[in-house]
Amino acid sequence: MEVKKDMQVKQVAVDKKPEFKNFPMVPRVVFGKGSFNQLGDILMPKRKHSEAPFIFLVDDVFENTELAQRVPLIFNDQIIFISAEEEPKTDQVDALVSKIKSEYQDLPSGIVGIGGGTLLDLAKAVAILLTNKGGSSEYQGWDLVQKPSIFHVGIPTISGTGAEVSRTAVLLGPEKKLGINSDYTTFGQVLLDPDLTQGVSKEQWFYTGMDCYIHCIESLTGTYLNAFSQSYGEKALELCKEVYLGDISEEDSRDKLMMASWHGGMSIAYSQVGVAHAMSYGLGYLLGVKHGIGNCLVFQHLEEFYPEGVALFNKMKEKHGIKLPTGICSNLSEREFETMIFVAMNMVPLWENALGKNWRDTITPEKLESIYRKI
């Protein structure tokens, strides 16, 4: 993996304890095998006029596939295929916005993201930046977006991130990896068709599902939890267990993992993630390690913090014959470790959620380095 050149971490994520937040839910959701066929009908009433297109941002693994042909293009609609090999970036968002603005006189009727967390987060961010001035990095943070976004639709093709239901679009920027956290980020429409997750590789299926599993463990054992988030988190966790340890059909498994992701995303409304996410942000920032696998790489070494959660994780990993890569951090310099540790330790609310106000008694740079060195 390429090591990030610019080591100047000027600002990193700061989260807020979302007590009594007026949480924005996705106002429309369709669920069902084959419901993707309804997409044209769903978009029709949202078309402003024939010159205001829908722009479909689609994971490029679907290029030249049947799914791409089923995208209901009319008028001057456009599909833009995008690689999800790397985490979504602020530059990428800005380039997409420029492209769309230069190609069309009118604002689009809407943006439709079709793919995993990367495509969904790009769709959210592009929808926001089409109506808000400047670059996307200016909006990384909490409630910095001033104007409503254009209509945007999320259609997951892999389950686990919760991006379909969250109010954030996590982007890797020049100075930070941080979400655009805003009420305007939430999708205006989500379509959940479990059939779309059929072609996913076993590894991707595992890493992305574990994103959901790990954030459930982190939020359910955290200090921020309330009954709202607990009920969603418990259901998501239960569904993960059915999917990764149960004896159910593949069809049921796809259905249930899609719902696990949905509930897992909702559980974050009034809770927060924890140690694995904080440390995974460090890996992601420095090495570009993707979110799902990054969480797994860290989580396997967190028995101290999540003994039961890690035991179950190992069981699931074994059952599905998943071998995590090793030696990721073996050739890093001291300065690189410092950067990762700096990024991770700045995720204050995640640590507070995990360990309480006195988290600094437990979490030291040495402690984090010793964990990173195992990865």
In whole angstroms, how close is the CB of 375 to its own copies at the nearest point? 34
Q: ∠ CA 191-290-357 to the nearest 5 degrees?
A: 95
* CB of 46 or CB of 99, closer to its own copies: 46
Among 110, 116, 156, 194, binds its own copies (CB under 8 A): 194
What is residue 333's three-state secondary structure?
coil
Q: Which of 4-12, 262-270, 327-335, 345-353 is the region at the interface with its own copies (rule: CB under 8 A)?
A: 262-270
CA dist list (Å): 248 to 158, 240, 243, 251, 316: 18, 12, 7, 8, 14
Among 4, 32, 223, 322, binds its own copies (CB under 8 A): 32
* CB of 112 or CB of 289, closer to its own copies: 112
Distance CA(283)–CA(362), nearest Å, equals: 20
What string of DSSP letters covers 197-260?
GTT--HHHHHHHHHHHHHHHHHHHTSSS--HHHHHHHHHHHHHHHHHHHS---HHHHHHHHHHH
Q: Does residue number 259 form part of the binding site for its own copies (CB under 8 A)?
A: yes
What is the helix (H) or strand (E) element at residue 367, kind and residue range? Answer: helix 365-374
* CB of 18 or CB of 179, closer to its own copies: 18
Residues paired with residue 111 on neighbouring β-strands, in sequence order: 55, 152
What is the helix (H) or strand (E) element at residue 123, kind and residue range? Answer: helix 117-129
Q: Which of 197-205, 258-266, 295-303, 309-317 is the region at the interface with its own copies (rule: CB under 8 A)?
A: 258-266
What string of DSSP letters covers 49-72?
-TTS-EEEEEEGGGTTSHHHHHS-
Distance CA(130)–CA(151), nearest Å, equals: 10
What string of DSSP letters covers 301-314?
T-TTT-HHHHHHHH
Q: Does residue number 54 form part of the binding site for its own copies (CB under 8 A)?
A: no
At residue 107, what is the residue type?
Answer: L
In whole angstroms, how close is the CB of 295 to its own copies at the nearest point? 23
Among 8, 227, 321, 361, binds its own copies (CB under 8 A): 227
Q: Which ranges of 246-356 does DSSP label H, i.e. alpha helix?
A: 250-267, 275-287, 291-299, 307-319, 334-345, 348-355
Distance CA(364)–CA(369), nearest Å, equals: 9
Q: Does residue number 72 form part of the binding site for its own copies (CB under 8 A)?
A: no
Q: Which of 128-136, 186-194, 286-294, 322-330 is the region at the interface with its own copies (rule: CB under 8 A)?
A: 186-194
Mask of contacts with its own copies, 152-181, x by CB under 8 A?
Answer: ------------------------------
* CB of 214 or CB of 258, closer to its own copies: 258
Among 60, 175, 234, 303, binds its own copies (CB under 8 A): 234
Q: Does residue number 22 form part of the binding site for its own copies (CB under 8 A)?
A: yes
- Are the C-beta atoms of 164 and 154 separated by less than 8 Å? yes
Q: Does residue number 228 form part of the binding site for its own copies (CB under 8 A)?
A: yes
Among 20, 321, 323, 334, binds its own copies (CB under 8 A): 20
Among 14, 27, 83, 360, binds its own copies (CB under 8 A): 27
Count of residues that bind its own copies according to CB under 8 A: 38
Distance CA(259)–CA(133), nearest Å, equals: 35
Q: Which of 109-117, 147-155, 235-243, 314-322 is the region at the interface with its own copies (rule: CB under 8 A)?
A: 235-243
Q: Does residue number 246 form part of the binding site for its own copies (CB under 8 A)?
A: no
Chain contacts with its own copies (rule: CB under 8 A): 19-32, 34-35, 38, 42, 189, 192, 194, 226-228, 231-232, 234-235, 238-239, 252, 255-256, 258-259, 263, 269-270
